[in-house]
Structure 1
């Protein structure tokens, strides 16, 4: 089957980019896969390329807001027309059986109107709870034949569309490299884009409440993003006198390796559609703690595999971290259960669901 995946770019170290790379490497073994990016340019793909996938970049340069959002101006409107024309040219050349718009980006407004695009699929990665679509966006979404959601909860929120299918993002963990918990570093880990929605300020505040009790522990945050948010986080660390125990480091493609040597993964996002990084931490045998934010964590974590804390209850979050540190042996069964559950999200398991979908619409 000839598949064409459309997305903005693959040069950043985000969870979507990692999930796409994991998934397409396997799908390309059974299908003729094309990856059509709109704004990647000459930048290298962060997670590399695969020899049996055809990559095409349209190389449109839209003007963006500081947070990456789309600016509505004459320049971008003109290049939107150019984008539509270039998309149509490439789709006619590829002549796909299925066209998959990977994220709810600019191209979703165009894909349903392209000629010879085959069956159309829209993947929903951003939470509808966080970004409720406008009336126009809803009408465009309805024109896609199939919709992929990461969780049942997100699918239920989209009550205005039909043909909804739940397929989570896959993880690609090294299940043979688990390090005994007692041999790991006394380290709390967090990762994600340095933007307000990830709530790293909440994590720093939580750690400030207990760090004096656990001076042989450190907190490391990995990510790139908004410079203003990064500056604010660094200022908060300095203000709370945490410079010796809290470290913000650049994003890395080796995050799973870092997880394998760490004990606790902490997620303090304000919203999460899925939270793939939680699954990666579980696959590395970490103890995971997360705010019960809308909507992803509660679809992954239960009391058998981790700890869900009332959203924005920073004091309770800090108490849970401290409790784990003081009684880590008591919770090793959660680490084992988390590792076992992560196997359900392996690339092979998830791609089987994609292949079943493609067979059903052939």
Structure 2
């Protein structure tokens, strides 16, 4: 049995990292019988968003960073010292074998100051594609130096591995938790395309709406639904765009939902127009539900999940006309849509929870004498 500590800011809000902590933590205590602790900095007395197993021990350090300021601003600097002291105290009590930094939080910058025999691991859930093309600043050199001090860096796809300079990098994809025993129904699906994710600039739902405005000139019997939360200002801008393009009958912003896979199991297409994606789990969820994918070939995630014209469609980045053409073609060819969906379901089986957690066990948990 290993003692595993997972560090994050909070687990009270919906999100990909919160979901992953829930999946992996529950798996480790139920299947492998490890001891798991989740340590947060700003849970604020709220219940976890996902139902954590009662054997998982939850600790909140009550640091409560100011999220509207830099971590190194005067408002947060004293909180970093508080974080360091309280985390050290908790590690002294827990005595973990491995500490997982689950996202980009301040402990990333001060973990070498902690006194513990534990191995340290950092997970990266974002793409370094664009960052790797910029001039390396002094601060980035400092970040790179810190990365070298981790025992493991976990990235989500082989392409991302090339952006890290050291030999401590391990590639482990994210798992999905969907029932893969029963094959989905591929026929008689609704003429509804969907997209999902946080309403923010990087997801470029505004671009998707532009594409849809061109598509419905050819196919007025289809509708687009966008699922996700975000800043109200960003949501309002999308709604204004829908009205300005006279798309109110064809596009709807639906907000977040806990029944995303149910919708995926009955809808006709999943669409993605992001500027960048590291490893979009939503594409695997779509494939597991028999939902064919049309996505821009953005760096770096989609092409590490989707094989073009086999289990989905990848469109040249920012080529809206090509995207529209693919939509017109696939909505007119149900047999092709079904073939892509069936192949996608087979692909998704490679990312089930048991498969991915076995990789964690072999590459991390029971490696290097942890």
TM-score by length of 1: 0.95
Look up the match of 1:181.
186
Pairing 1:35–2:58 present: no
Aligned ranges for residues 8-27 of structure 1 at < 5 Å?
A: 8-27=9-28
Aligned ranges for residues 154-233 of structure 1 at < 5 Å?
A: 154-158=160-164, 160-176=165-181, 178-233=183-238
Match of 2:271 among 263, 266, 273: 266
> In structure 2, do the counterparts of structure 1 residues 287 and 350 end up closer, same or farther at CA, with 3 Å as the change threshold?
same
Look up the match of 1:319.
325
Match of 2:352 among 312, 324, 346: 346
The alpha carbon displacement at 1:194 in A equals 0.5
Look up the match of 1:122.
122
> In structure 2, do the counterparts of structure 1 residues 23 and 205 end up closer, same or farther at CA, with 3 Å as the change threshold?
same
The alpha carbon displacement at 1:135 in A equals 1.3
Is the CA contact (8 Å cut-off) linking 1:190 and 1:267 kept in structure 2?
Answer: yes
> In structure 2, do the counterparts of structure 1 residues 219 and 253 end up closer, same or farther at CA, with 3 Å as the change threshold?
same
Pairing 1:359–2:360 present: no
The alpha carbon displacement at 1:138 in A equals 1.0
The alpha carbon displacement at 1:253 in A equals 2.3
Q: State the Cα RMSD in Å.
A: 1.6
Look up the match of 1:52.
55
1:287-320, CA deviations, whole angstroms, 9 ceiling, x for partnerless residues? 0111011111111111211000011112211221
The alpha carbon displacement at 1:358 in A equals 1.1
Bigger mean CA deviation after superposition, 114-123 or 92-101: 114-123
1:69-91, CA deviations, whole angstroms, 9 ceiling, x for partnerless residues? 73542121111111111111111
Q: Counterpart of 1:28 in 2: which secondary structure?
A: helix
Q: Counterpart of 1:201 in 2: which secondary structure?
A: helix
Distance of 2:259 and 2:197 partners within structure 1: 13
Distance of 2:64 and 2:58 partners within structure 1: 18
Is the CA contact (8 Å cut-off) linking 1:99 and 1:117 kept in structure 2?
Answer: no
Pairing 1:110–2:110 present: yes
The alpha carbon displacement at 1:117 in A equals 5.0
Match of 2:341 among 315, 335, 345: 335
- The number of aligned residues is 358
The alpha carbon displacement at 1:333 in A equals 1.5
> In structure 2, do the counterparts of structure 1 residues 59 and 177 end up closer, same or farther at CA, with 3 Å as the change threshold?
farther
Runs of 4 or more consecutive aligned structure 1 residues displaced over 4 Å after TM superposition:
176-179
Match of 1:286 among 280, 285, 291: 291
Is the CA contact (8 Å cut-off) linking 2:71 and 2:77 kept in structure 1?
Answer: no
Unaligned 5+ runs, structure 2: 133-138
Unaligned 5+ runs, structure 1: none
TM-score by length of 2: 0.93
Is the CA contact (8 Å cut-off) linking 1:218 and 1:246 kept in structure 2?
Answer: yes
Is the CA contact (8 Å cut-off) linking 2:71 and 2:106 kept in structure 1?
Answer: no
The alpha carbon displacement at 1:163 in A equals 1.5
The alpha carbon displacement at 1:221 in A equals 0.7
The alpha carbon displacement at 1:177 in A equals 5.5
Look up the match of 2:136.
none
Is the CA contact (8 Å cut-off) linking 1:13 and 1:253 kept in structure 2?
Answer: no
Q: Counterpart of 1:110 in 2: which secondary structure?
A: helix
